[in-house]
Amino acid sequence: MTELLYMNNCYLKEFSATVTAIEGNLIELDKTAFYPTGGGVLHDTGKLAKSIEEFIVMNVLKKEGKVWHEVASDALKVGDKVVGRIDWDRRYKLMRMHTAAHLLSGVFFHEGKILITGNQIDVEESRMDFNMENFDRAVIDDYCRKANELIQKDLQIKIYFMNRDEALKDPEMVKLAEVLPPNVPELRIVDIVGFDRQPDGGCHVASLKEIGEIALAKLENKGKNNRRLYYILK
């Protein structure tokens, strides 16, 4: 099973690893800082370097506990030592977007007991689906304003692990409608200190001001109790 370095350090940009398996153009490493597509969040890109050779990582995916790095080359072999380098520009944008999604979902929940039904975290524009009964633009604008007010307070974000049963004793821990965290002994918690915390396995910034400003791009009515919000960051 691949050791996921980003779980403990979202700011790790470079790491050393060993190739442990190869399937076509897919490379498995013993450890990685590359985030694989999952939870509605896009994967990282970057490079794997072996001596003076560099191999572009185009895609990263997770299967059965293994993380696979897709490269357009067959030059790497099992046992090779490589250095992984994250495309930091892309990663940092995704981190800011992902933390913004947590902040918005926290505001929607605490203000209106509204749960998230889906999301897609992308580099330039992201979306969030939620089960809001009345499609009220003024209320949504107000929630976005409150999220930006919290950003100005620059609350810190801490990541830690909790016993699953203990974490789920908190009825406000889960913000996803009809979805429980994975059935594992420990949950990784993303805590916007003093405001909201949620189980999550992704990459986040260390403080709210790193997000910038959340701007509402578009709203869509997707049917009964299902609304969609698109947002960008400034």
Q: What is the pLDDT of residue 133?
A: 85
Q: Residue 218: exposed, middle, or buried by beta-carbon count in 10 A (0-12, 13-18, 19+)?
A: exposed
Q: Which residue among 60, 86, 112 closes a domain? A: 86
pLDDT tens digit string along 160-176?
999 988 988 888 888 87
Count of structural domains, the chain:
2
Q: What is the pLDDT of residue 172?
A: 85
How far apart CA 31 and CA 35 sit, in angstroms, is 11
The residue-averaged pLDDT of 44-71 equals 94
How far apart CA 234 and CA 230 sit, in angstroms, is 14
Summary mean pLDDT of the chain:
93
Confidence of residue 183 (pLDDT cuts 50, 70, 90): confident
Clarify whether residues 9 and 123 are in a common domain. Answer: no
Q: What is the CATH number of the domain that holds 69?
A: 2.40.30.130
Task: Name the residue among 230, 200, 198, 168 with its Cα closest to residue 39.
Answer: 200
Largest CA distance in the chain: 58
State pTM to two decimals: 0.93
Clarify whether residues 21 and 82 are in a common domain. Answer: yes
Query: Which residue did the predictor score with more confidence, 23 or 175?
Result: 23
What residues are paired with 56 via a beta bridge?
47
pLDDT tens digit string along 98-139?
999 999 999 999 999 999 999 999 999 999 999 988 888 999
Residues 6+ apart with CB under 8 A from 102: 190, 192, 196, 198, 200, 204
Q: Which residue among 52, 86, 120 closes a domain? A: 86
Q: What is the pLDDT of residue 224?
A: 77
Q: What is the pLDDT of residue 179?
A: 65
Q: What is the pLDDT of residue 180?
A: 64
Which of 114-117's residues contact partners 24+ apart within 8 Å by CB, and which partners? 115/175, 115/176, 115/177, 116/175, 116/176, 116/177, 117/176, 117/177, 117/178, 117/226
Clarify whether residues 195 and 117 are in a common domain. Answer: yes
CB atoms within 10 A of CB 180: 10
